[in-house]
């Protein structure tokens, strides 16, 4: 234990040596003050409770999303932002409608009800639903090999489990997500009449997980549903026992014209270089099955907490710090597009953007996407974060909302929390406030505020 403490002390002293522009010991002291204030007096957890319990689901274009905009605007004002404003954007407006129904049937046997939900942006079935035989595929290449002869007139079941050998569950999510994102259009290319996608969940459970699909306009748009991992296992087993299985499902969703909405922005103006902008944010919209507590109410509340703690401690960032609640990340990125467009039109200089969109779990690392000079500078700060749970700065990137800023030359980063439990609740009915730990949420806010403060003080050049 003494050896570990000694090693950490050496790391901090090394960091102090590297920070020659100002007293590194002072910066370590500032971060300690940030941590003490957040861990003692944070408003993030209470704000998250308010967002989840008083607003609830926040699908872009919905009444819930509009209410969340007004609520987070008030939260930013209460946090002490110098300026708070709404940035107009056009957003995808999809509605689920009445709850979906589905069942499988083998021959004349009893129907077995299935736990399903429509994929985001999916078209609806006809009023009478769709019923057809099922064909299972384990990867996208299998679909191509089967071709139109075997797929036409069928419902394709994309049974793509998340790879359990990937310790990084986000990697598994990205790989298996091909079925959800592109599966419906690819199946339609070969004449399928519907699609069932295994939910993107790390474990076996009874909850279907939604998420956006992306139609290719070159092919027919066919209805698509996600099935719980528990019933995906059941369906696969039934297909192995009896190949003549049919599925019936009915969905009632619809895609409306794009709606008017807003990003919510709160700023602390920089004292020396106000034209240099640091963005810290999360996405305010969520899916409609639950409260969107981890995805991404947590990231929004952490970003508001960054503003609050800087103002509470009287810290005056040299560069402008801008907290942004992005709208429409889940199924269109309308907010991200508007933010980039405004930055281009106003000729803004965005030097750094940090997003939290991995849930409010215990922080482990920051992913970074920036030039070599900036990367070396940031990695030299690493020892300052060891006491607060972040042990690595790894090559990667930021979240989907800040990714467009890369074309402006902006350095990007994402908070990387422990993700072993994230996909148990991601896009499912279990993404509720009760599944968030106050301490984990606050610790992430500490690291985000510390990172923002260091960039505001030292820049990245």
Backbone angles phi, psi at 11, to 5 degrees: -65, -45
For residue 21, pLDDT over 90 is answered with no
Are 139 and 104 in the same domain?
A: yes
* pLDDT at residue 109, rounded to an integer: 83
For residue 1, pLDDT over 50 is answered with no
pLDDT tens-digit profile of 413-456?
999 999 999 999 999 999 999 999 999 999 999 999 999 999 99
Are 160 and 207 in the same domain?
A: yes
Q: For residues 266 and 154, is the Cβ–Cβ distance under 8 A?
A: no
For residue 19, pLDDT over 60 is answered with no
Backbone angles phi, psi at 153, to 5 degrees: 80, 0
* pLDDT at residue 106, rounded to an integer: 87
Q: For residues 322 and 266, is the Cβ–Cβ distance under 8 A?
A: yes
CA pair distance 224, 195, nearest whole angstrom: 5
* pLDDT at residue 13, rounded to an integer: 45
* pLDDT at residue 422, rounded to an integer: 97
CA pair distance 297, 272, nearest whole angstrom: 32
Are 286 and 425 in the same domain?
A: yes
Are 242 and 262 in the same domain?
A: no
Do the strands 155-158 and 194-198 form a parallel or antiparallel pair, or are they unpaired? parallel
CA pair distance 53, 291, nearest whole angstrom: 8
CA 438 to chain centroid:
19
CA-CA distances (angstroms) from residue 99 to 47, 224, 231, 250? Answer: 30, 14, 17, 9
Are 318 and 439 in the same domain?
A: yes
Is the backbone of residue 36 left (phi > 0), alpha (psi -120 to 50) or beta?
Answer: alpha
For residue 16, pLDDT over 60 is answered with no
pTM of this prediction?
0.93
* pLDDT at residue 2, rounded to an integer: 46
For residue 18, pLDDT over 70 is answered with no
Are 329 and 452 in the same domain?
A: yes
| Residue where a domain terminates, one of 252, 278, 312 | 252
- Sheet with 319-326, side-by-side order of all strands: 83-95, 254-268, 319-326, 273-283, 349-355, 411-417, 363-369, 392-395
* pLDDT at residue 286, rounded to an integer: 98
Domain boundaries, position 213: 97-252
Residue 185 has a CB neighbour count (10 Å cut-off) of 21
Residue 247: give its domain's CATH number. 3.50.30.30
| Residue where a domain terminates, one of 220, 252, 284 | 252
162 closest CA partner among 154, 153, 171: 171
Residue 397: give its domain's CATH number. 3.40.630.10
* pLDDT at residue 107, rounded to an integer: 79
CA pair distance 442, 302, nearest whole angstrom: 7
* pLDDT at residue 26, rounded to an integer: 84
Q: For residues 306 and 448, is the Cβ–Cβ distance under 8 A?
A: yes
Are 118 and 202 in the same domain?
A: yes
Helices (H), 132-261: 140-151, 169-176, 178-189, 229-241
Are 161 and 119 in the same domain?
A: yes
Are 186 and 124 in the same domain?
A: yes
| Number of domains making up the chain | 2
pLDDT tens-digit profile of 149-182?
999 999 999 999 999 999 999 999 999 999 999 9
Are 299 and 446 in the same domain?
A: yes
CA pair distance 353, 324, nearest whole angstrom: 10
Confidence of residue 108 (pLDDT cuts 50, 70, 90): confident
pLDDT tens-digit profile of 40-64?
999 999 999 999 999 999 999 999 9
Q: Which residues have C-beta within 8 Å of that of residue 291, sequence separation ≥ 6?
A: 51, 52, 53, 56, 57, 297, 431, 432, 433
For residue 25, pLDDT over 80 is answered with no
* pLDDT at residue 5, rounded to an integer: 40
For residue 10, pLDDT over 80 is answered with no
Average of per-residue pLDDT values in the chain: 94
Which class for 290: exposed (0-12), middle (13-18), buried (19 or more C-beta within 10 A)?
buried
* pLDDT at residue 37, rounded to an integer: 98
Average pLDDT over residues 280-285: 98
Q: Which residues have C-beta within 8 Å of that of residue 65, sequence separation ≥ 6?
A: 58, 59, 91, 261, 284, 285, 327
pLDDT tens-digit profile of 194-217?
999 999 999 999 999 999 999 999
pLDDT tens-digit profile of 363-383?
999 999 999 999 999 999 999
Are 167 and 294 in the same domain?
A: no
Are 70 and 120 in the same domain?
A: no
| Residue where a domain terminates, one of 218, 252, 286 | 252
pLDDT tens-digit profile of 291-326?
999 999 999 999 999 999 999 999 999 999 999 999
Average pLDDT over residues 233-260: 94
Report whether the peptide linkage leading into residue 457 is cis, meaning its omega lies within 30 degrees of zero. no
Q: For residues 331 and 121, is the Cβ–Cβ distance under 8 A?
A: yes
Backbone angles phi, psi at 295, to 5 degrees: -125, 90
């Amino acid at each position: 234990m003494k050896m570990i403490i000694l090693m950490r002390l050496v790391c901090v002293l090394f960091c102090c040596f590297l920070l020659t522009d100002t007293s590194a010991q002072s910066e370590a002291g500032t971060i300690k003050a940030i941590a003490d204030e957040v861990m003692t007096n944070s408003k993030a957890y209470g704000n998250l409770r308010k967002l989840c319990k008083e607003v609830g689901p926040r699908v872009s274009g919905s009444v819930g999303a509009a209410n969340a905009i007004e609520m987070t605007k008030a939260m930013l004002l209460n946090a002490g932002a110098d300026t708070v404003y709404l940035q107009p954007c056009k957003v995808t407006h999809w509605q689920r409608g009445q709850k979906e129904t589905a069942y499988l049937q083998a021959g004349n046997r009893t129907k077995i009800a299935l736990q399903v939900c429509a994929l985001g942006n999916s078209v609806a079935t006809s009023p009478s639903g769709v019923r057809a035989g099922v064909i299972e595929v384990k990867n996208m290449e299998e679909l191509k090999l089967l071709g139109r002869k075997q797929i036409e007139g069928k419902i394709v079941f994309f049974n793509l489990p998340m790879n359990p050998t990937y310790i990084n569950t986000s990697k598994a999510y990205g790989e298996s997500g091909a079925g959800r994102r592109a599966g419906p259009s690819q199946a339609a290319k070969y004449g399928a009449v519907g699609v069932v996608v295994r939910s993107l969940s790390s474990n076996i459970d009874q909850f279907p997980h939604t998420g956006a699909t992306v139609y290719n306009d070159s092919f027919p748009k066919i209805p698509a549903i996600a099935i719980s991992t528990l019933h995906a296992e059941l369906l696969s087993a039934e297909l192995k026992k009896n190949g003549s299985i049919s599925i019936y499902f009915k969905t009632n969703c619809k895609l409306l014209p794009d709606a008017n909405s807003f990003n919510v922005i709160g700023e602390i103006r920089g004292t020396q270089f106000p034209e240099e902008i640091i963005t810290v944010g999360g996405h305010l919209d969520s899916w409609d099955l639950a409260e969107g507590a981890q995805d991404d109410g947590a990231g929004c509340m952490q970003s508001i907490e960054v503003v609050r703690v800087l103002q509470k401690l009287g810290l005056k960032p040299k560069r402008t710090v801008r907290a942004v609640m992005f709208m429409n990340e889940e199924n269109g990125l309308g907010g991200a597009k508007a933010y980039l467009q405004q930055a281009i039109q106003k000729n803004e200089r965005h030097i750094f953007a940090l997003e939290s969109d991995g849930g409010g779990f215990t922080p482990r690392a920051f992913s970074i996407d920036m030039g070599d000079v900036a990367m070396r500078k940031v990695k030299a700060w690493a020892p300052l974060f060891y006491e607060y749970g972040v042990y690595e700065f790894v090559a990667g990137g930021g979240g989907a909302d800040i990714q467009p800023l890369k074309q402006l030359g902006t350095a990007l980063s994402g908070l990387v929390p422990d993700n072993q439990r994230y996909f148990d609740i991601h896009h499912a009915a279990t993404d509720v406030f009760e599944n968030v730990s106050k301490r984990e949420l606050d610790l992430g806010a500490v690291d985000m505020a510390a990172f923002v403060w260091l960039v505001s003080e030292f820049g990245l050049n």
